[in-house]
Amino acid sequence: MNLNRTVIAVAGLCLGLASTAFAQEKTFRLLTWADYAPAAVIEQFEKESGYKVEVTLSNNEEMISKLRATGGAGFDLAQPSQDRITGPQKEFGIYKPMDLSKIKSELFIPSMLDATKKNTTQDGKVYGMPHIWGTEGLVVNTKLTKMADYTDLCRADVKGKVSMRLKRPTLISFAFAAGKDPFALYNDPKAYTALMEEVGKTLIACKPNVKFYWDNKDQLLNGMRTNEIVAAQMWDTGGWKLNGEISDIQYIAPKSGATGWIDTFAIPAKGKNDAAAYAWINFNMRPEIAAKVAGSAGNFTASKGADDLTSGKLKEQFKASFPEAAIKNIKWYPAVPAGLEEIEGRILDRIKAAQ
């Protein structure tokens, strides 16, 4: 009698463990940004794949913190920016290498795929695939002025009529506009310092042109709406928003290249469902799915051909701002080595203090 009960109890325990394991195998845990996994996309993925999606919303700092605390456990896929992968991986080991054989690379825009693979490679292994991306370039009221590159913000005819950020992207952008590649000097602090000092002198000379250094989007957008400023260094979606209100205001990818960020797909070191992670990546890169995600996020994805499926005004704006040559010319931010932001901070303080 007792033996039978023991057998039954053990059998029940085994069945329970098997059921739990099966449930885990069919659950996909995603750590991502707001609006990157809209409900309709999740519903379609669950219906097609049989997986149950659990979404946790986060940002770069929180993603790294959560994965660091668990050694890379708790999630099957995370979406850090590409410049936040190799550093944390080297220090904390929170990701596992991508199995490129499981990625449908033909679904990606080649230039973005290549850039992300390069910028997320650690010890010869790739740790990230591109997903959502955006850029910073020029937003210009074309009725009032014409511009082609960042240095045009410093022309005499727009004195007191432009805006930019007093942040590191401005230093980077003006370095490219001067014909230099700041990213190529990331591992040479002496040469990087010399370049930043050169850029600092340019921006100090440009100060009379700056109506204000913007630090919040409302200040910047209202400045453009009221013609208080005629041009600004600004992000793409802000320019497209203004274009929707005032057709003469346009977002322009500068001649020297817009600077770009990419939020990636990365697999945590102790994720339990890699199969679901790869299924989600390939599903999201299908053009018709990527177009839905773009509509939710307000930014485009690295899916090849998805922009053609985006509806309405946003599609027109994207095509006008980003012909193929402009996309290929985007300067994607790589990981920032330790010490560089300190160098940049000194230059920015010098610009701020200049009279």
Cα–Cα distance measured from residue 79 to residue 56, given in angstroms and rounded to the nearest whole number: 11
Predicted confidence (pLDDT) per residue in 54-102, tens digit: 999 999 889 999 999 999 999 999 999 998 899 899 999 999 999 999 9
- Decide if 238 contacts 214 (C-beta within 8 A): no
Considering only CA atoms, which of 1, 349, 344 is closest in space to residue 174? 344
Confidence of residue 126 (pLDDT cuts 50, 70, 90): very high
**Does 143 lie in the same domain as 173?**
yes
Q: How far apart are CA 168 and CA 204, in angstroms?
A: 15
Q: Does any domain span residue 18? A: no
Per-residue pLDDT for 158 more than 80? yes
Helices (H), 26-56: 39-49
Do 63 and 146 share a domain, yes or no? no
Residues 217-251: pLDDT tens digits?
Answer: 899 999 999 999 999 999 999 999 999 999 999 99
Q: Got the DSSP string for 281-328? A: HHHHTSHHHHHHHHHHHSSEESBTTHHHH--HHHHHHHHHH--HHHHH
Q: What pLDDT, on a 0 to 100 scale, did the predictor assign at position 24? A: 53
Cα of first residue to Cα of last residue in the chain, in angstroms, is 93
Assign residue 111 a region (left: φ > 0; alpha: ψ between -120 and 50; beta: otherwise): alpha
In a shared domain, residues 40 and 121: yes
Is there a single domain that holds both residue 343 and residue 218?
Answer: yes
Q: Do 272 and 187 fall within a single domain?
A: no
Distance CA 98, CA 278 (A): 9
Average pLDDT (277-287) is: 98
Residue 5 has pLDDT above 70, yes or no: no
Same domain, 165 and 108: no
- Mean pLDDT over each residue of the chain, to the nearest integer: 92
**Rounded Cα distance, 254 and 322, in Å:** 10
Confidence of residue 315 (pLDDT cuts 50, 70, 90): confident
Residues 107 and 45 in one domain: yes
**For residue 39, what is the domain's CATH number?**
3.40.190.10
Domain assignment present for 215: yes
- The residue among 60 and 205 whose pLDDT is bigger is 205
pLDDT bucket at 4, cuts 50 / 70 / 90: low
Q: How many domains does the chain have?
A: 2
pLDDT at 2 over 70: no
**Domain co-membership, 192 together with 291:** no
Same-domain check for residues 270 and 164: no
Residue 209 belongs to some domain of the structure: yes
Residues 229 and 104 in one domain: no
Residue 89 placed within a domain: yes
Q: Would you tell me how many other CB atoms lie within 10 Å of the CB of residue 63?
A: 24
Distance CA 43, CA 34 (A): 16
Q: What angle, 0 to 180 degrees and rounded to 10, lies between the N-to-C axes of helices 274-284 and 287-297? A: 80
How much is the pLDDT for 337?
Answer: 85
| Cα within 13 Å of Cα(110), Cβ side | 3
Tens of pLDDT, residue by residue over 260-269, are 999 999 999 9
What range defines the domain where residue 119 resides?
Answer: 27-131+264-306
